């Protein structure tokens, strides 16, 4: 059962071959066994999980038969979940218990999904390796001396090690897609505004987007069906008709135009990554697709633009953590300003402090026009590049990450090298487009390689179909680390 797809698990539950309680217990036992090694989960509450599972069994006994009813699910610890500790990977929120459900959590609860626990993450989603968490780094199940990617690294490790059959993540600059590539599964960042951000602790409000993480495109389609939809409580949520994201899974690929940005295939890409991506593109050609070269001339500016805009928004969003209303408060202080200063100094980690300082600087008088305003202009140019590219192609493909999983601590002392881990993913967030990563091979060390798909706005269903047809023809998404057996 731990290797079954969501559709197979749903069929087994519907046929009464296994109960939701038995299925949840199976995964809880694996978490007990493997989490001390991987550090994928921050919070597990067996009693809460089994209560949800019993409720799912009761709903099924009463005649309900939804596709996610009784399916176990892990949530990234950035989503508030009523009665669950919600830490965002930070000392600042180490003891915060959410009083309400985020919209994403509420929608999965309504669908009958069973929460297994809250997954570790880079502190306030700031990181590309899951090494900035207050609760310690997450280990990659393919090699526990390596990172799983970030910031959704806990969700990634849980999926790869079969501690959960599905998980939620968030993507601000690649934080679903990059760990999906490094851990060998499928991850989707939807179009900005498709999934509600209400109850999702904010990092950079114009970039953050929740999305599904699972073993296959088909599984991600089922999850997105539950996650997506308009939410009046979220001012960035888009009011659009509901759609079935699984509707195009069996659409043939004949005539599909795949755009290949020359900017994605230059220097800096690992040779093994290049070979795996090129083999995947050859497989798509065999399935009937054609490839065309496209230009994204401003994509090289995406990293500097992102690291002005995202810290600026973070410095504003994180100002709410002041030790007054909730979160960590310093034990010893002289006055109100001293309490603010000490609470934030003690509660935030180094990476969060670095980004707050950068963000405050670029928003300050005299620097706003020189940095923040210029970065927003570059953002517009990057979005226009994609508009032009999609005039001659249907989907854009390339590597998700320039390398496979690197060793723990390898880039910790060099923030710039760490930031460059997201060089192929950040532009998608700046443009607000959907992007996903699917497994497409391994390097010579046996580490997974990810292929990135970038679609036009609201093109998730087509992207999922394009990924699904590739996964029908290959078995990369079925491979698993030895630790997962």
Please report the pLDDT score of residue 7 as a whole number.
97
pLDDT at 94: 98
Give the DSSP letter string of 356-373. Answer: HHHHHHHHSTTTIIIIII
Q: Quote the pLDDT of residue 309.
A: 98
**395 located within any domain:** no
Model confidence pLDDT, tens digit, residues 128-139: 999 999 999 999
Please spell the DSSP secondary structure of 163-230, one letter per residue: S-SEEEEE-SSSTTHHHHHHHTSEEEEPPTTSB--TTB--SSTTT--EEEEESSHHHHHHHHHHHBS-
Average pLDDT over residues 392-404: 98
Evaluated on CA atoms 307, 312, 314, 319, the torsion sign reads positive
369, part of any domain: no
Q: pLDDT (tens digit, 9 = 90+) per residue, 68-95?
A: 999 999 999 999 999 999 999 999 999 9
pLDDT tens track for 41-72: 999 999 999 999 999 999 999 999 999 999 99
pLDDT exceeds cutoff 90 at 122: yes
Q: What is the pLDDT of residue 478?
A: 98
Query: Do residues 182 and 408 touch, judged by C-beta distance below 8 A?
Result: no
Domain span including residue 101? 6-253+462-484
DSSP result, 20-64:
HHHHHHHHHHHHHHHHHHH--EEE--HHHHHHHHHHHHHHHHTT-
pLDDT computed for residue 267 by the predictor: 87
Q: Would you state the pLDDT for residue 115?
A: 98
Q: What is the mean pLDDT of the chain?
A: 97
Helix (H, G, I), strand (E, B) or coil at 139: coil
- Asked if 436 and 452 touch (Cβ cutoff 8 Å), the reply is yes
The answer to the question of residue 333 being in a domain is no
Q: Tell me the CATH number at 475.
A: 3.90.1300.10
pLDDT digits (tens, 9 = 90+) for 151-162: 999 999 999 999
Q: pLDDT, tens digit, for every residue of 318-361? A: 999 999 988 999 999 999 999 999 999 999 999 999 999 999 99
Q: Is the dihedral of CA 227, 228, 229, 235 positive or negative?
A: positive
Provide the pLDDT for residue 201. 98
pLDDT digits (tens, 9 = 90+) for 275-320: 999 999 999 999 999 999 999 999 999 999 999 999 999 999 999 9
What residues act catalytically?
76, 151, 175
**Mean pLDDT value of segment 212-240:** 98
Using CA atoms, how far residue 95 sits from 91, 204, 330, 346, 363, in Å, is 8, 23, 14, 14, 31
Contact 144, 38 (CB under 8 A): yes
Distance CA 259, CA 394 (A): 7
Give the model's pLDDT for residue 335.
97
Q: Total domain count for the chain?
A: 1
Task: Confirm whether 336 is domain-assigned.
Answer: no
282 domain-assigned: no
Per-residue pLDDT at 416 exceeds 90:
no
Instruction: Please indicate, yes or no, if residue 429 is contained in any of the structural domains.
Output: no
Q: Residue range 117-134: average pLDDT?
A: 98
Q: Is residue 30 a part of any domain in this protein? A: yes
Per-residue pLDDT band at 2 (split at 50, 70, 90): very high
* 354-396 residue pLDDT tens: 999 999 999 999 999 999 999 999 999 999 999 999 999 999 9
Residue reference for tokens 């500016």: 301
Question: With 90 as the cut, is the pLDDT of residue 411 above it?
Answer: yes
- Residue 230 falls inside a structural domain: yes
């Amino acid at each position: 059962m731990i290797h079954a797809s969501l559709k197979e698990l749903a069929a087994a539950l519907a046929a009464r071959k296994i109960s939701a309680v038995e299925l949840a217990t199976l995964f809880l036992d694996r978490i007990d066994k493997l989490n001390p090694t991987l550090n994928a989960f921050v919070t597990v509450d067996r009693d809460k999980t089994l209560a949800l599972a019993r409720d799912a069994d009761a709903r099924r006994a009463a005649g309900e038969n939804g596709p996610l009813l009784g399916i176990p699910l892990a949530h990234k610890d950035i989503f508030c979940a009523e009665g669950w500790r919600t830490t965002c990977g930070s000392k600042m929120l180490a003891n915060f218990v959410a009083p309400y459900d985020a919209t994403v959590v509420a929608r999965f609860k309504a669908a009958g999904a069973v929460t297994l626990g809250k997954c570790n993450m880079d502190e306030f989603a700031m990181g590309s390796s899951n090494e900035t968490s207050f609760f310690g780094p997450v280990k990659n199940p393919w090699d526990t001396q390596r990172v799983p990617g970030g910031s959704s690294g806990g969700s990634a490790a849980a999926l790869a090690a079969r501690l959960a059959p599905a998980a939620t993540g968030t993507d601000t600059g690649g934080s679903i897609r990059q760990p999906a590539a490094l851990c060998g599964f499928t991850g989707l960042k939807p179009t900005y505004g498709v999934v509600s951000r209400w109850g999702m602790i904010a990092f950079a409000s114009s970039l953050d987007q929740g999305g599904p993480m699972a073993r296959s495109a088909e599984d991600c389609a089922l999850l997105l069906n539950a996650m997506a939809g308009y939410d009046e409580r979220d001012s960035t949520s888009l009011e659009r008709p509901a759609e079935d994201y699984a509707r195009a899974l069996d659409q043939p690929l004949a005539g599909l135009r795949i755009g290949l940005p020359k900017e994605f295939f230059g220097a800096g890409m690992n040779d093994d990554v290049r070979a795996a991506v090129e083999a995947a593109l050859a497989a798509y050609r065999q399935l009937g697709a054609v490839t065309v070269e496209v230009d994204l001339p401003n994509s090289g500016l995406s990293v500097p633009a992102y690291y002005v805009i995202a810290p600026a928004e973070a410095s504003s969003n994180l100002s709410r953590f002041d030790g007054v209303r909730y979160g960590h408060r310093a034990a010893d202080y002289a006055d109100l300003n001293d309490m603010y200063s000490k609470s934030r100094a003690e509660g935030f980690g180094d990476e969060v402090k670095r980004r707050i300082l950068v963000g405050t600087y670029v928003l300050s008088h005299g620097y706003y026009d020189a940095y923040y305003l210029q970065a927003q202009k570059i953002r517009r140019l990057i979005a226009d590049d994609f508009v032009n590219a999609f005039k001659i192609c249907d989907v854009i493909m390339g590597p998700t990450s320039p390398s496979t999983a690197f060793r723990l601590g390898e880039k910790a002392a060099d923030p710039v090298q760490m930031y460059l881990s997201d060089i192929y993913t950040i532009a998608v967030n700046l443009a607000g487009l959907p992007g996903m990563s699917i497994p497409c091979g391994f390097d010579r060390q046996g580490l997974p390689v990810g292929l990135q798909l970038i679609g036009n706005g609201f093109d998730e269903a087509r992207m999922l179909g394009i990924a699904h047809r590739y996964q029908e023809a290959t078995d990369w998404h079925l491979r698993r680390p030895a630790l997962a057996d």
